[in-house]
Structure 1
Amino acid sequence: MRSIRAAAAGAVTLSLALAASACGGGSPTGGGSDGAPKTLTYWASNQGASVEIDKKVLQPELDKFEKRTGIEVKLEVVPWSDLLNRILTAATSGQGPDVLNIGNTWSASLQATGALLPWDAANFDKIGGKDRFVASALGSTGAQGKDPAAVPLYSLAYALYYNKQMFADAGISKPPATWDDLVAAGRRLSKDGKWGLGAEGSNPSENIHHAYVFVKQHGADFFTADGKADFTGDATVAAVKQYVDLMAKDKIIAPGNAEYAQNQSVSDFAKGKNAMLLWQTATANLESQGMAEDAYGIAPVPVQSGTPGTGTGVNSMVAGINLAVFKNTDNLTGATEFVKFMTGDEEQKILNKAYSSIPPVKAAQSDPAFNTPANAVLKDTLAKSAVALPQVPAESQFETAVGTAIKELFADAAAGRAVTTASVEAKLEKAQQQMPAE
């Protein structure tokens, strides 16, 4: 998940087949007169345009929690480039925070470590019940058939952002609904040093998010029904090639975007260098960079043909942030209270407004702020045409291996090297060989 997510790009080499006895969490804290700890440590993911902006958003809310409960929350905002490896290290060392944010796509992988508190019915009851949450958000909280490893905090979806003035200048009257339309528009817009579309070609997780949508639109998947990696099927190869071809063949993405990994394409869009952007809930990020909200439009991510919907009409992965508790925290009661606070109706409205995300809590979505035309696109996508990334134990390795393969393909395209069906298949075969043995 950046406003938004400048996704984790570090290679994951730690094994996820960890013994439950290696669970992490719970830094030492001072106790009150009753012996109960009076502090919590919280690792928050970097959701805003900078770590400092996140601190400004979160600290007043943490102060509010302390005033209500007497529990001080020690905050650390962790950049996405560090977060996954920090969490895995904490899981093996036993030294981690009490509560932490995780990208929802990692839920099953981190669940497999045994380090996170399972959210069974009893634990959900402590925070108001499982039925408070939107079903699509709960679908990215862990492996099917197991108690969730985390609780939804922020829901995000991909959309197509387009520069209204650049479209008008090019004589384009409406946003593209299909990839053919997008390529045609992109070619008209790619001129005079400006480009049709931006991308983060050096960001493995961002690559995975887009490639997964293309693969689903081709009626395929990266994993079989029993959870085995299957990266080299004809439809999968064709889907990945279609995505990379936006730079390699269609030439609507600047070659320099092959090196982008930290929101540079968002910055380019805000500055009018790119006419279109495929991004997760970008409003707050664009606003922080000085782009007025009426300067751009928001539309669903294109599909192969027809309109978005279930099946091959998928046009987003279910993006978002989950809130997890390390199982061996020495302040389980306080940690549970904190999760209840952060997922309460009031806080859900405050936090999701700040990050331009969608509350995964049903009651909070009734706020008018989440029913603007822009948010209507995101809510409709999440409800009708978004799918969760594979909830398998090796998901984080999948993101790294396949995301890096696509990074290398973008590098080939930028350097003028041919991107062919054979070269795409070879990269994906290499990625599959990097996956853990069954």
Structure 2
Amino acid sequence: MRSVRAAAVGAVTLSLALAASACGGGSATNGGSDDSPKTLTYWASNQGASVEVDKKVLRPELDKFEKRTGIKVELEVVPWSDLLNRILTATTSGQGPDVLNIGNTWSASLQATGALLPWDAKNLAAIGGKDRFVDSALGSTGARGQDPAAVPLYSMAYALYYNKKMFADAGIAKPPATWAELVADGRKLSKNGTWGLGTEGSNPSENIHHAFVFAKQHGGDFFTADGKADFTNDGAVAGVKQYVDLMAKDRIIAPGNAEYAQNQSVSDFAKGRTAMLLWQSASANLKSQGMSEDAYGIAPVPVRSGTPGTGANVNSMVAGINLAVFKNTDNLSGAKQFVKFMTSDAEQKILNTAYSSIPPVRSAQADAAFNTPANAVLKDTLASSAAALPQVADESQFETAVGTAIKGLFADAAAGRAVTTESVRTALEKAQQQMPAK
């Protein structure tokens, strides 16, 4: 899932009893049809610096698809603040697109509604087969043991972006590899109106991504092996507290970041107001804000000790965007053709270059454009030290409940109120109480 968005806000309830409703004008009883063979509607997520940037990236490619197939694609770029609730409404109202982008962390939750086309062996064969996609991306396409609810479109990973000049001026020779080093460097850099690190404390999904990694590094998780919410275990509590303490205790994040939810931390980094940024595949976003690639370095997200890897040294969630089809589309054949087009090698190179993401298609990923030093950090992270967020039906409620709880803890930190192990555990306990009963 991409961090340029604000999180979907509000209590989201995904019922397993939801019927797979008609979308794109299709019939709820026919499991998809080809009644409208010459048109498709497509909801794209806001991947670039603005909705207008996305339109400029996507429109030429959609026109190319129309020229090849005769199928016109009606595009709407949906802001992240609206996307999840728009999709949920479409699953029940019958008023939705034929094809859409979903944050990969939502895959299992949306799969549970029954509204999305399952990508079984036959459907995957129509777009070149399952083996075209890298394993880490396929791991975030739905619940284990079920056919994928979507196919990977863009892959991303978190990295540490650091301002080279600010580091040199502070006498810091290399980027921090551990959190202790990051805090020490951050304190050297937090002076004269600048801050060591930026974050989006009011963005629930951004909070979840970091909390997931910090919890993993403390040996914790937010769900048990059988999919039950477990927000108050020691590892989860310690991970959340360490993340919030970057503002509350370590004081390397500006208190004002507690209100950030719309890319402000990226803007601060691009303008030299902060020296470090933890972000997903940020190069295109930084370029759009006028920051030269020569001005910053990219390093793996720190770990508690040692080097990034699996288990307690996980340093990123598997971030990304998946492409899904409502299974009752009026143009099932065209929707499959569109997915095949968007995941073709040629389009994967064009689109992932535009968004500074990594192609989840193996053959496209091998292209020289994705083997720069900057992309090497992201590819290595995805290959060896990233983990998928829990692929459970309640994942979207988890993002809302725990992400909002962390938002409240950042507000406490910004206001000077104590953030303690007890207050973190209490906030997470309240979040767990909001989850559906099992």
Q: Give the TM-score range, shorter chain.
A: over 0.9
Q: How does 1:131-280 map to 2 (within 5 A)?
A: 131-280=131-280
TM-superposed CA distance for 1:35, in Å, is: 6.1
**For the Cα contact (< 8 Å) 1:27–1:41, is it kept in 2?**
no
User: What CA distance in whole angstroms lies between the structure 2 residues aligned with 1:151 and 1:7?
Assistant: 23
Q: Determine the C-alpha separation between the residues in 1 that align with 2:327 and 2:410.
A: 40
Mapping 1:358-369, distance limit 5 Å: 358-369=358-369
| Per-residue deviation, residues 245-281 of structure 1 (Å, max 9, x unmatched) | 0000000000000000000000000000000000000
Alpha carbons 2:198, 2:265 under 8 Å: kept: yes
- Following superposition of structure 1 onto structure 2, how do residues 40-55 of structure 1 map, counting pairs within 5 Å? 40-55=40-55
Indicate the SS of the match to 1:77: strand
Task: Give the Cα–Cα distance (whole angstroms) in 2 for the partners of residues 24 and 411 of structure 1.
Answer: 42
Match of 1:301?
301
**Counterpart for residue 111 of structure 1:** 111
Q: Deviations over 1:110-157 (max 9, x none)?
A: 000000000000000000001000000000000000000000000000
CA contact (8 A) 1:16 1:110 kept: no
- 1:338 is displaced (CA, Å) by 0.1
Quote the residue 1:370 is aligned against: 370
Gaps of 5+ in 1: none
Is the contact between residue 23 and residue 116 of structure 1 (CA under 8 Å) also seen in structure 2? Answer: no
The more displaced of 35-44 and 376-385 is 35-44
Equivalent residue letter for 2:9: G
> Which residue of the partner structure matches residue 16 of structure 1?
15
SS at match of 2:16: coil
Query: Which amino acid is 1:164 matched to?
Result: K
Offset at residue 368 of structure 1 (A): 1.0
What is the CA distance between 1:18 and its match in structure 2?
A: 3.2
CA distance in 2, matches of 1:9, 1:274: 26
Distance 2:66 2:96 in 1: 21
Q: Is the 8 A contact 1:223 1:229 kept in 2?
A: yes
The runs of 5 or more residues in structure 2 that have no matched partner are 28-33
CA distance in 1 between counterparts of 2:380 and 2:403 reads: 27
Contact 2:217 2:313 in 1 (8 A): yes
2:155, 2:251 → 1: CA distance? 32
In structure 2, relative to structure 1, the CA distance for the partners of 1:167 and 1:35 (3 Å cut) is closer
Could you list the per-position Cα deviations for residues 302-349 of structure 1 after superposition, in whole angstroms to 9, with x for gaps in the alignment?
A: 000000011111000000000000010010000000000000000000
CA 311–405 in structure 1, closer or farther in 2 if over 3 Å, else same: same
Equivalent residues of 2:8, 2:83 under 8 A apart: no
Q: Which amino acid aligns with 2:320?
A: G
Structure 1 position 346 matched with structure 2 position 338: no
CA contact (8 A) 1:12 1:396 kept: no
- Structure 2 distance, partners of 1:74, 1:271, is 36
C-alpha deviation, 1:24, in angstroms: 4.0
Counterpart Cα distance in 2 of 1:35 and 1:328: 11
What does residue 314 of structure 1 align with? 314
CA contact (8 A) 1:216 1:311 kept: yes
SS at match of 2:291: coil
2:398 paired with 1:383 = no
- Please tell me the residue identity of whatever aligns with 1:273: R
Contact kept? 2:157, 2:378, Cα under 8 Å: yes
Deviations, residues 52-74 of structure 1 (Å, cap 9, x unaligned): 00000000000000000000000
Corresponding residue SS for 1:113? coil
Once the 2 structures are TM-superposed, how far is the Cα of residue 28 of structure 1 from its aligned partner? 7.0
Contact 1:45–1:77 (8 Å) recurs in 2: yes
User: 8 Å contact 2:108–2:149 — kept in the other structure?
Assistant: yes
- Shift of residue 26 of structure 1? 1.6
Offset of residue 37 of structure 1: 2.1
Q: After the TM superposition, which of the residue ranges 228-237 and 58-67 deviates more from structure 2?
A: 228-237
Of 20, 25, 28, 1:27 maps to 25
Q: Which amino acid aligns with 1:15?
A: L
- How far did 1:9 drift? 3.2
Displacement after TM superposition at 1:234 (Å): 1.4
**What is the CA–CA distance in structure 1 between the aligned matches of 2:222 and 2:246, rounded to whole Å?**
21
Taking the aligned partners of 1:335 and 1:79, their CA distance within structure 2 comes to 22
Structure 1 contact 16–109 (Cα < 8 Å) conserved: no
Please tell me the residue identity of whatever aligns with 1:9.
A
Give the counterpart letter for 2:205 in structure 1.
Answer: S
Task: Give 3-state SS (helix, strand or coil) of 1:48's partner.
Answer: coil
Matching of residues 68-83 of structure 1 within 5 Å: 68-83=68-83
Confirm or deny: 8 A CA contact 1:57 1:354 kept in the other structure.
yes
Q: 1:35 to 1:246 in 2, by over 3 A?
A: closer
Query: C-alpha displacement at 1:243, in angstroms?
Result: 0.4
Deviation at 1:19, TM superposition (A): 3.1
Q: Secondary structure at the match of 2:162?
A: strand
Distance in 1 (alpha carbons) for counterparts of 2:36 and 2:433: 49
Instruction: Among all aligned residue pairs of Structure 1 and Structure 2, give the percentage whose two residues are the same amino acid.
Output: 81
Q: TM-score, normalised by structure 2?
A: 0.97
Deviation at 1:36, TM superposition (A): 4.9
- Give, as a single letter, the amino acid of the residue that structure 1 aligns with 2:14: S
